[in-house]
Amino acid sequence: MTAADNEAIVRGIFSAFARKEGFALRGLFAEDAVWTVGGTGVMAGISRGREEIFRFLARLPKETEGTYSSELRDVLVSDERAVALYRARGTRHGRTLELDQVLLFRIENGLVHEVLALPSDPAAFDAFWAP
């Protein structure tokens, strides 16, 4: 796969999420993919496998009563990796989230194998996702 292919994969993920078309993501993640979110909030942890990742992503709108959104700002790519810079927004339990985040992707043979989520302000991220 080329860097351009990997960019298309990342942009496709953000596009499908924005359109609320989770099934469009099925062919983009490896069966044994891993998505890691640091911190202490309810969304923190490691999702192992495609099905767990989809359940994790489905929780975002549920936890925020549909207010969570991700505005893709930029994508940096190589033949094996991609970095997505995006603006995350939402409201939850009277709290507001609006911060930049980075997703680091490892992509092999056209499938996402690993994702690491990195918020620009970990303390604000944890406060928003606190129980």
Give the pLDDT confidence score for residue 127 in this predicted structure: 97
pLDDT, tens only, 41-57:
999 999 999 999 999 99
Amino acid at 2: T
Contact 101, 74 (CB under 8 A): no
pLDDT, tens only, 23-40:
778 889 999 999 999 999
Query: Can you give the residue range of the structural domain that contains 71?
Result: 3-128
Give the pLDDT confidence score for residue 24 in this predicted structure: 78
What does pTM read for this prediction? 0.92
State how many domains the chain has.
1
Contact 97, 128 (CB under 8 A): yes
Q: Report the CATH number at residue 35.
A: 3.10.450.50
CA distance 46 to 44: 7
Contact 89, 95 (CB under 8 A): no
Nearest to 63 by CA among 40, 83, 80, 42: 42
